[in-house]
Homo-oligomer: A and B are copies of this chain.
Amino acid sequence: MGARVTLAEVAKEAGVSPPTVSKVLNGRSDVSSTTRVKVERLLEAHGYRRRTSSPSRSPLVELVFHELDSVWAMELVQGVETAAKANRATVVLTRSGTRHAPAPDWIEGVLRRRPLGVVLVFSSLPAEMKHRLRSRDIPFVIVDPAGDPDPDVPSVGSANWAGGLAATRHLTDHGHQRVAIITGFEDMLCSLARLDGYRSAMTMAGLTIDQRLVRFGHFDVQSGFEHGMDLLAGPDRPTAIFAGSDLHALGVLEAARVRGLRVPEDLSVVGYDDVPLAQWSSPPLTTVHQPLRHMAEEATRMLFRPDGPGRAAQRIELASHLVVRQSTAPPEGGAAGA
């Protein structure tokens, strides 16, 4: 691995003073962009890593979202807050970028704030951001409810295939034969994993899959409602729907109401996630519990390990389990294909 390069050596090679390198490391704005780029390249080329984080005035854990209005968000905030507090740290919450990466200006802010570590709710992080965080010795972990992890970053997810299997088996065990699935987009691994769990459960029950009963869409209420309205329109409607999120399931409940069908007497519905609203729906929702709070806690704890989450990317997958409430029941005689 060779000897570690020092700040002074980087300064000399860049032809600037050590304080200037220090400013770049701290994300300060009083450095020209030419100098910044030159110094960053040298830091990267030499694999520079700050030896120890300077103790910040008050220890912070930074939690980064791309959207704050998802029903997951508060579950994750609670998990991070609990684990941060246990380590006497406070949570900084930022919103930036898209599902794929934080916006470019985000990284400058992080370098100025110098948190003890960063928890990202994203599926990936650009190489340049990874490098900049590593060179400042700021550990980072991805919490990934979408199950689509960057192989180069430590991450915490949950068992999507097993969740899809459990949801579908619950329905086939009740005697349902026409079981539909509404899941997320085909380019999200979590959607594919849950769909494959559904397929395996159907096959295990000796049932064939009607492709018209397999639907993809956004993970929102509207998408659940639209697919629900369509699925429940015909005479050969399904007697059960496995909805890929609790929001999908709420949309399906509303579609059932509009179509004049009772849940669970005429239609069984299983959701996914078990966010708080799942127990508040009418009827309360049978759903797959994705341990979002626990995932966020686990990710935050990784930041506080003596060796950090490590460069060797680590993937932790927590178990999901089915929570049976009142939206599922055996099909009433003759409902299937009636």
Contacts and interface: CB of A to CB of B under 8 A. Distances in A.
Interface residues of A, number: 39
A92 interface: yes
A226 to B, nearest CB: 14
A58 interface: yes
A221 interface: yes
Contacts of A280: 221, 247, 250-251, 254, 277
A113 B57 contact: yes
A109 B56 CA distance: 13
Contacts of A277: 277, 280
A94 to B, nearest CB: 6
A257 interface: yes
A82 B279 CA distance: 30
A247 B58 CA distance: 37
B77 A114 contact: no
B57 A112 contact: yes
B276 A69 contact: yes
Contacts of A256: 282
A78 B74 contact: no
Contacts of A253: 282
A235 to B, nearest CB: 23
A68 B60 contact: no
Contacts of A93: 77, 81, 90-93
Interface string A66-84: 0011010110011001000
Interface string A256-272: 11000000000000000
B276 A257 contact: no
Contacts of A279: 221
A304 B90 CA distance: 22
B94 A91 contact: yes
A254 B282 contact: yes
A82 B1 CA distance: 45
Contacts of A112: 57-58
Contacts of A284: 254
A95 B124 CA distance: 29
Given A68-B74, A78-B69, A93-B93, A57 B114 contact: yes
A113 B58 contact: yes
A254 B247 CA distance: 18
Contacts of A257: 282-283
A247 B251 CA distance: 18
Interface in A22-66: 56-58, 60
Contacts of A113: 57-58, 90
A69 B60 contact: no
Nearest 4 interchain pairs by C-beta: A58-B112, A254-B282, A58-B113, A253-B282
